[in-house]
Every structure is written in structure tokens, then in C-alpha cells.
Structure 1
Amino acid sequence: MAAREFDVVVIGAGPGGYVAAIRAAQLGKNVAIVEREHLGGICLNWGCIPTKALLRSAEVFHLMHRAKEFGLKADGIGYDLPAVVARSRTVAKQLSSGIGHLMKKNKVTVVMGEATLPAKGRVSVKTDKGTEELTAPGIILATGARARELPGLEADGDLVWSYKHALVAKRMPKKLLVIGSGAIGIEFASFFNTLGADVTVVEVMDRILPVEDAEISAFAKKSFAKQGMKILEKAAVKKLDRKPGVGVTAHIESNGKVETMEFDTVISAVGIVGNVENLGLETLGVKIDRTHVVTDEYCRTGVEGLYAIGDIAGAPWLAHKASHEGVMVAELIAGRHPHPIKPNSIAGCTYCHPQVASVGLTEAKAKEAGYTVKVGRFPFIGNGKAIAMGEAEGLVKTVFDAKTGELLGAHMIGAEVTEMIQGYVIGRTLETTEAELMETVFPHPTMSEMMHEAVLDAYGRALHI
């Protein structure tokens, strides 16, 4: 069968791939997208979206327990785990099927199957009907990543879960061990802890949420401990003894000593590995470093016409970074001149309780980079809207370059900070200084006023503390 010719072929239909396909189609290109499993990729089906649906259920459950505080009555509060999981799957399915509609609307050809790159400009797809050959001068790799598995800590779906098993939990853990305190680990720890599990988090680094500002990590640790979570930092799970139908004995090393602890469930969340295998990349001469494709700032791989975006192209491993890279590459292929993505202006959000969000440099990283800094802080307890909402626990922190007034970073913990961080993201994109942020009129009463106050505080001008 003759090869089908396209202008652009995208491999992988996650938030990087499908957005790249849409933008290329908008720019008049004839586009095909190849996907081996689900349109929407991990994010829509097994990641960002279904986890947020679960966490929303936990948040409502938590609020129901606080009814009395708001002058309300709620009796017989409980939850139905299968129904919570079913809602999360319905939300994921709704969005995943929406991607199919977007592909049709933008006249993108969808090919379901496993792709390989036999030669430059060629894609071979193994479908359930046989092998289909596609050609295109522009090929975009958006194959994403999967959970890293450490020897001896592999998920089995029964006693030891990956994030996928946790998303469709068949039972409620009573005593849960979470290995890893990045966004995925902490979100599941928060979800199960809120629903009543006895949760222990083990982190190999010296603090939880290690990519966040140290002050935010410390605040989070205190808050989680108050909720009953046990946090073990500078600790490593060396071994798991699995006893089917009974539980797991975890051998945890901390301060040079190994202790054993009993759990009925373990969630392993120790990072991710890029999906670079079985594509034929090495033969083409694509450089791979620690399971990630090496690219330049425009996502070019060094092989003519071949680009890599999203998780496969390295940190930060965030859906919104992948989508923006997809748009940038589509515009490059179409002969436009887009700006490269600046990793330091991409926000990170963790939807635990309380939420965590940040953009730019932490205070420590700014100092390491040689900046003299001005730091501002504003607590939620000083904000009228936060108090009215019953969400007075939290902190907004800003880091400025003392010489130029450039906003180097912003770090937040508390209710709705994942929505608020966008204000600072826009500020960084527009290369704003403290002067413009101070002169901006923030609406009252809103939680965003704390963002204003945290800027004012960096310059000794805070009004409400």
C-alpha cells in the first residue's frame, strides 16, 4: 500500500500532541496524529484531569465535616469510594471524547496504532488492520512518559499501586505508604488522608515537595502533620516484603538506621521515565539522555524535520508546557517565528490540601544565581476574603531582584493558589517590575489582594500586616 502523504505527523495525542496537531491544522497544514492508546494521553485519561476530580470529591467531603463552622448542619457524612472513582472516570471520558471532536473539527487524520520511525520523514504505524506508512517533512514526537519503577518497589496493582491503580482504587487503604513527595505522591497522600487513611510519606530529599521554595515546603509539612499525615524526610524505602491478602512490611532507612513499618497499601510515585523506546530514534541519530530526547530551545532534535515536545523532551513535566511547545513547533514548521518557551516562566501547581503553586526562582535559587533579592510575604490570615471563606491558612511569597525590580519568582500555599498564580505568570511574561505590580489595582474582597500585599511587603510597604 502506498504511503499516505502529510505535511505534519504528530506521534502521541496527549496535551502536547493534540494541541500541536490543532495548531498545525489552523495554519493550513495537512496533519495526521498517531496514538496507541487514548486521545488526550495520560493527562486527560490517567493524570491531571481524573486526579483533580478525585481531589474535588475529597475537598467537598472535608468541607462537609466543617459544616458547623459555617452555621450549617450535615449529618451522617460518608463517602462511596466506587462512586467517587466512577465520577472521576466519567470526567476523564467526557474530555477524552472531546479531543476526538476537536480532531474532526480541525480535519486532523487520526491513526490509532504504534508508531516507529524507519527513516527521516517516514512514520510506520502498526494498527489492528496491519501496517500503515505515513510520510511528512515535519514530524513531532509527543510520546510522553510513564511512572518510574524502582527495583523491588514495582507496582503489582494489589498491595503496591502506581498512580493508575490509585486512580481506580478498588478499596480504601487503612494504612498507606506513599513513596515520593512530588506533585503526584502528595496529591494521592492528600486525597486518601482526607478520606481517613493513616498516611505516611517517605521522601529521599531533605524536604517534601523538593522543587518548591523551602518556606513553602516547611509550611506544607506543618499543615500535613496537623491533618495527621506522617512525613519522613531524608529517608528511603529499601525493601518491601509483600504478604498477599495481609499487607506490606516496608524497610525504611533514615539517619543511617533501617526500621520496619507495616502497611496494607503502598503507592510508588518516584518520578517518570520518557517513552523513547521502540521508536527507532537511535538509528536516526537522535540523542537521548536519561530517557529523554535532547532538544534545543525550539524543540529541534538535530535530525532535520524532527521535533520532540512535552515530557519526552524533559523537565518541567507539565501538560501546559507540552501544549505550548506544541503550538511553538507547529508555528516553526509553518514558517513563523515564535518565541522559545522559558521554563522559568512556567507555573507548577500541586492540588493537595492546601494547594501549592509557584513560578520562577525560589529564594535559594535566586541567591545561588547571584541575585541580591528583596522578599515579600503575606499570610492568608491577613486577607478578608480568605477569612470569610474559612481558609485562613496559607502564605504568598514574592522574590524580586533588588537592583532592577524584576519579579524573579512567586510561591504560594493555600486555598485556590493554583488559580491565583496565573497573575504572576502574566507578570513574568510581560517582564513586569515591582512598580507596575504595586500600581495595579486588585479587586476587593478577593484572595488575589494577597498577591499585591506580598509585592508591597518586599519593599516594606505592606498595608495589612
Structure 2
Amino acid sequence: MAAKSFDLIVIGAGPGGYVAAIRAAQLGMKVVIVEREHLGGICLNWGCIPTKAMLRSSEVFHLMHRAKEFGLKADGIGYDLDAVVKRSRKVAGQLSGGIGHLMKKNKVTVFMGEATIPAKGKVSVKADKGGEELTAKNIVLATGARARELPGLEADGKLVWTYKHALQPAHMPKKLLVIGSGAIGIEFASFYNTLGADTTVVEVMDRVLPVEDAEISAFAKKSFEKQGMKIMQKAMVKKLDRKGDTVTAHIDVGGKVETMDFDTVISAVGIVGNVEGLGLEELGVKIDRTHVITDEYCRTGVDGLYAIGDIAGAPWLAHKASHEGVMVADLIAGKHAHPVKPESIAGCTYCHPQVASVGYTEAKAKELGYEIKVGRFPFIGNGKAIALGEENGLIKTIFDAKTGELLGAHMIGAEVTELIQGYVVGRQLETTEEDLMNTVFPHPTLSEMMHESVLDAYDRVIHM
């Protein structure tokens, strides 16, 4: 079989791979993308997008119960879990189809199948109906990651679920255990708790949402507990005994093991990179704990081979993968490429209340030796938040006391996943506290709290 020649081969069509392919095509390259399962990858089919669709359903359900507060009447409030899931799958399907259209529009060749790299610049694709041999000077690895499974806590789809099972539940959990309180764990805990599941979250670290600022984590814990969740911190699930329709969890809390019964367990204990079966070790690619080691430009050290997105390490976020995809395409085309700075990438968690952050936490800024100024503003002091009935929240900003540089911003409350972008742009433009103070924020908006938080850091807050 004669090998087909391209300028660039992309392995994996998630938010890193398909974006790299589009940008490379825009730059005049002949591009092929190889995907073994779904265009759009995990994010679009089994991650970011369908979870947000489901969380929107639970948010509307929550608001329906508050109808009376807003002078409205809603009787006989209920939900149809199958219909909620169906809507979520439809949203994912619509977007996945959209990726196929984008590939056609940008003249990117798509091969569905398993890829291996037998030698530098060569890719073999194994598909149900035969295969393909491809060659290109440059190859981008964008194979993503999958759920980490801990020994004894493996998913079975019936009693113990991964995120995939939780997105297509076989039943509505009555008593739910969520292992891990990162973004994935806490979003599912939020969804099922809102729909009425008696929810317990176990976190091995000393706080929920452990990558967030400690103050935000504490605020989140209080909010979750108010909603009826049980939060166990500095705790570890040692083993799960499965019998009939019950899982007995053995939970170690400070050296003392407690047993608790559940009908459903969701395991959200991190991810592992999809590095197997590609032939990477034989090529000389360095792998550390299932992630490919790269430089700041996503180069693997093997000539013409790049790795982007989850396979290339933290932060494991779709928008980081997409940005890396564009950067690598620009780099291959000989254009000026800007490396991705991890501390300039915002993290968003769509639990209730929402959580969003960018830059350094207060503890990290101090650890790095900065002298800092910290500002805070609560949602209760904002007219729009009160009008929305969303007084529960906080915005926190951290500045370098010497230069006025915005070091970090941390938020919890309604719509903060949209608000955070203001601070992201500010950091990208290397804004100072003075720039932010002199910016006129529109009224009445939630964004005014961003202004007030900055003012508070410099003892100039108005509405508090």
C-alpha cells in the first residue's frame, strides 16, 4: 500500500487536535487528522459540553423550586432523568457533527482508526475496513487522557461509575458517594445533589477544590454543606465492598476507618494520559507518569513530533489544548508563536455556586516571595446580584504591592465562569491596579464587583 503524504498528521480530534488541524490548514498545509472514536474528543462528547448541558438542567430545576421568591408559581415540580440525559447527548451530538463540517470546510482529511507511529514521520492507521499508511514531516500528538482507576475502586457501570457512566446513568442515585472533589467530582456531586441524591464527597486533600485559593475552597464547602452535601476532607476510600445493590465504602478519616453504605459511587480521582500503543518509547519520547515531557513549545525532543493538551500535562483543560494546537501550527509554519503560560490559564468549575480563577492563589504568591495586596468584594454588596437573587458569592484579587501587577483572581458565585475572562484579558495585557481602577464598569452588572475587589485591595472600596 502506497503511503499518503501530508504536511502534518494530527493524532486525536479533541479540542487540541482538531484546532491544530484547522489552524495548520489555514496556514496552507495539507493536513490529515486520525481519530479512533469521536470527532471532538472527550471534551465535546463525554466531558465539558454534555456535563454543562446536564448542569443547566439541574440549575433550572433548582430555580423552579425558588419560584415563589420571584413572585412566580410552579406546582408539581419534577424531572425526567432520561430526558435530561437525552438533551445532553443531543447537544454533544450537534457539536460533534459541527466538527465534521469544520474539517470538510478546511479541507482536512479525516481517518477514523487507531494510530501508531512506526518510525519518525510515519503513521499507520488501523481501521475496521483496512488501514492507511501516512507520512509527514510533522506529527502532532493530541491523544488526550482517560479517567484514572484506583485498585479496588474500579468502575463496573452499575454500582461504581466513571464520568461516562454518570453522563448516562443507569438509575438515579439515592445515596451517592463521590470520590475526589476536583472539577469533575464536584460538578457531578452538584448535579445529583440538586436532583435529590443524598451526596457525600470524599477528598484526600485538606480541602474541596484543592487547586483553588483556600478562601474560595472554604466558601465552597460551606455552600455545598448548606445544600445538604456531606463533605469529608483529609479522607481516603480504602476499599469498596459490592453486594447486591449496595456498596460499602471503607473510609479512612485521620487513621480511623468508617464504613458507610451507598447505592452509587462516582470515582473522579484524576486522569491518565493516553500514551500506550503509539510506539512513543521506541521513538525516544520521554514519558513521566503517563504524560509526554515537552518544552514550552510542546516539542517532544524527537524532531517533528509535538504533544499538546492533556497528554502533555497540566493544566488539563480544553482551552489550554486548543491554544497549544494553534501555537504548534504557527510554529511549524515558521510564524512567531507564543508559549502557553500555565498561570495565565483560567480554571472554571460549573458546580453551584460556580468557581473560577486565574493566576496565583494567595498562598502561592506568598510562597513565591511576593509582597501582596489582597482585595475582596462579596456578592451581597452588588445590586445586580441581589436583583438576580444570587447574593452568595465572593470575588478576590491579589496584586504585587511593588508593581501593581495582577497576580491572581479568584471567584465563587453566579456566572463567575463568564466574569473571569475580564481578569484573564487584564493579565494578558499586563494590566496594573491603576488600569483596572480607571476602567469604567457598566451598571448594574456583576462585573462591577471585579472593580470593587480591585479598589478594596488599595483601601478605596466604595460599596462595602
What is the TM-score with the length of structure 2 in the denominator?
Answer: 1.00
Alpha-carbon deviation of 1:129?
A: 1.7
Partner of 2:420: 421
Q: Determine if contact 2:393/2:413 at 8 Å carries over to the other structure.
A: yes
Partner of 2:395: 396
Q: In the aligned structure 2, how far is the partner of 1:432 from the partner of 1:404?
A: 10
Q: Which runs of 5+ in 1 are unaligned?
A: none
Alpha-carbon deviation of 1:431?
A: 0.6
Residue type at the aligned position of 1:163: Y
Q: Determine if contact 2:158/2:170 at 8 Å carries over to the other structure.
A: no
Q: In the aligned structure 2, how far is the partner of 1:369 from the partner of 1:203?
A: 26
Q: Determine if contact 1:297/1:340 at 8 Å carries over to the other structure.
A: yes
Partner of 1:29: 29
Q: How does 1:57-76 map to 2 (within 5 A)?
A: 57-76=57-76
Q: In the aligned structure 1, how far is the partner of 2:255 from the partner of 2:117?
A: 48
The superposition leaves residues 268-311 of structure 1 with CA deviations (integer Å, 9 ceiling, x where unpaired) of 00000000000000000000000000000000000000000000
Residue type at the aligned position of 1:253: D
Q: How does 1:201-212 map to 2 (within 5 A)?
A: 201-212=201-212
Partner of 2:310: 311
Q: Determine if contact 1:82/1:170 at 8 Å carries over to the other structure.
A: no
Alpha-carbon deviation of 1:131?
A: 2.3
What is the TM-score with the length of structure 1 in the denominator?
Answer: 1.00
Partner of 1:119: 119
State yes or no: 1:6 paired with 2:6. Answer: yes
Moved beyond 2 Å, runs of 4+: none
Q: Determine if contact 1:178/1:201 at 8 Å carries over to the other structure.
A: yes
Alpha-carbon deviation of 1:383?
A: 0.2
Q: In the aligned structure 2, how far is the partner of 1:444 from the partner of 1:314?
A: 40
Q: In the aligned structure 2, how far is the partner of 1:314 from the partner of 1:397?
A: 27
Q: Determine if contact 1:50/1:92 at 8 Å carries over to the other structure.
A: yes
Q: In the aligned structure 2, how far is the partner of 1:2 from the partner of 1:97?
A: 30
Alpha-carbon deviation of 1:255?
A: 1.3
The superposition leaves residues 236-290 of structure 1 with CA deviations (integer Å, 9 ceiling, x where unpaired) of 000100013x210000000110010000000000000000000000000000000
Q: Determine if contact 2:248/2:259 at 8 Å carries over to the other structure.
A: yes
Q: In the aligned structure 1, how far is the partner of 2:439 from the partner of 2:2?
A: 60
Q: In the aligned structure 1, how far is the partner of 2:86 from the partner of 2:337?
A: 41
Partner of 1:346: 345
Alpha-carbon deviation of 1:425?
A: 0.2
Partner of 2:190: 190
Aligned residues: 464
Residue type at the aligned position of 1:267: I
Q: How does 1:204-283 map to 2 (within 5 A)?
A: 204-244=204-244, 246-283=245-282
Q: Which runs of 5+ in 2 are unaligned?
A: none
SS at match of 2:210: coil
Q: In the aligned structure 1, how far is the partner of 2:91 from the partner of 2:18?
A: 18
Partner of 1:361: 360
Identity of aligned residues (%): 84
The superposition leaves residues 153-203 of structure 1 with CA deviations (integer Å, 9 ceiling, x where unpaired) of 000000000000000012110000000000000000000000000000000
SS at match of 1:124: strand
SS at match of 2:436: helix
The superposition leaves residues 355-398 of structure 1 with CA deviations (integer Å, 9 ceiling, x where unpaired) of 00000000000000000000000000000000000000000000
Structure 1 vs Structure 2 CA RMSD: 0.4
Partner of 1:107: 107
Alpha-carbon deviation of 1:127?
A: 1.1
Alpha-carbon deviation of 1:67?
A: 0.2
Q: In the aligned structure 2, how far is the partner of 1:30 from the partner of 1:255?
A: 58
State yes or no: 1:39 paired with 2:39. Answer: yes
